[in-house]
A = this chain, B = another copy of it.
Amino acid sequence: MVTLTSPSPVVGVIGGGQLGRMLGEAAGPLGVETVVSDPTADPPAAPVTRDQLQGAFDDPEVVEALAARADVLTYEIELADPDLLEQASEKVGVPVHPSPATLRFIQDKLVQKRRLKDAGIPVPAFKGIDSPDDLRDALDDLGAPAMVKARRGGYDGRGNAPLEDPADAEALFEELGGEVMAEATISFERELSVIGVKGAEGIRTFPVTETIHQEEILRETISPARTDERTRERAQQVARDVLEVMDGRGVYGIELFEVGEEDSESTETNREGSSGSILVNEIAPRPHNSGHWTIEGALTSQFEQHLRAVLGWPLGATDRRAPTALANVLGDVSTTRPAELRGVESVLSRSGTSLHWYGKREVRPLRKMGHLTRATTDSSDDPDDLLEDVRSARDALTFES
């Protein structure tokens, strides 16, 4: 039973970046309020949230103060501290979703991969690395180049580096801080993503998204993914299997590789090949960039879905309204400067193109500053055309003066 009240239920969110902002934007219609905590004064979420607590992610007083304001705690960034969340939750008596235990194992990429592998979920071949010697061995086992990843704290490609030559093993081991893992390099057909949600009464998945990266940073997405129906179904199935491993309600971004036949041998499971064409790359225990298109493109957005899930409310329909493409607006500058995005009139004039500006004060090279969604009214729209259209809209924008 859900009863709406005023004052509304409050979702406390660790992190006030663009994901916190879009959670705040989704909260209003639903009769939910958000309060965020963030180290930055006036972070992106501030103008659309009820209140902001300023303080470090690892400051126990801030986490506790947020818990005291909230009916449920969640986080929009993996830098949230699972121990502090657990303590604050117990002390104040509010639940945390997804569970701190889930956050904890996802934060360590090696533990995450092991957990997925143990559950029979297909992942690239990988190895835990404790020394430069281990790295050299891994290069033999996994093939060169291998992808070496810091176990903690990396994002948008930071903390990842390829290793080709055993002679570089020692330097790379040191550079990445010594707490690393190695993975077989996957030459994928394309990258896919499924946004999944775990609610009080079951799980749901959104339609498969195709993601397009450059320099390991997401540039564009398109849904439906330009692959065959069997692959889409397989991606959905893998995503459902992943959700079963997760503890705690909420939205999860599940990044996948679609691999060809020759590469499916580099996987840890499903070596029989019949359904080895999907591998799990990484899981984010929160709304994910690859799901931003759902704001316009699905009957329920991933942000509304996350709020419903953490509150224990019934989940919404995940159907796609129409084919939808998205382009990130990244900092096209070489040095940090105040954010001024020029050429916006061309986007505003473009029929069916929706603007999402994150309100960050400073633009930095390749920083995610906003995104554009190409929403349509016609389910017959061609994905290639949509993608080209939203790219050309994005390319008319610049932070350069």
Contact = CB atoms under 8 A, between A and B. Distances in A.
Interface string A336-374: 001111111100110110111101110000000010000
A172 to B, nearest CB: 37
State which size class the interface on A falls in. Answer: 35 or more
Interface stretch (A93-101, A128-136, A308-316): A308-316
Contacts of A343: 1
Contact of A379 (B21, B338, B377): B377
Given A2-B345, A50-B47, A345-B314, A29 B355 contact: yes
Given A28-B21, A357-B30, A348 B3 contact: no
Given A359-B31, A377-B299, A344 B25 contact: no
A141 to B, nearest CB: 47
Contact of A308 (B295, B313, B321, B348): B348
Contacts of A322: 321, 377
A6 interface: yes
Nearest to A371: B29
A348 B314 contact: yes
A4 B48 contact: no
A328 to B, nearest CB: 14
A250 interface: no
Contacts of A320: 377
A28 B25 contact: yes
Interface string A27-45: 1111101000000001000
A360 B6 contact: yes
Copies per assembly: 2
B377 A321 contact: yes
A19 B382 CA distance: 36
Contacts of A377: 299, 319-322, 379
Contacts of A348: 2, 308, 313-316
Contacts of A340: 3-5
Interface string A2-23: 1111111000000000000110
A7 B314 CA distance: 36
A349 B1 contact: no
Nearest to A8: B359
B313 A345 contact: yes
A92 interface: no
A200 to B, nearest CB: 10
Interface of A: 1-8, 21-22, 24-25, 27-31, 33, 42, 46-50, 295, 299, 308, 313-317, 319-322, 338-345, 348-349, 351-352, 354-357, 359-361, 370, 375, 377, 379
6 contacts: A2-B345, A4-B344, A8-B359, A299-B351, A313-B345, A316-B348
Given A2-B348, A6-B359, 6 more contacts: A4-B357, A5-B339, A6-B360, A7-B42, A24-B48, A308-B348
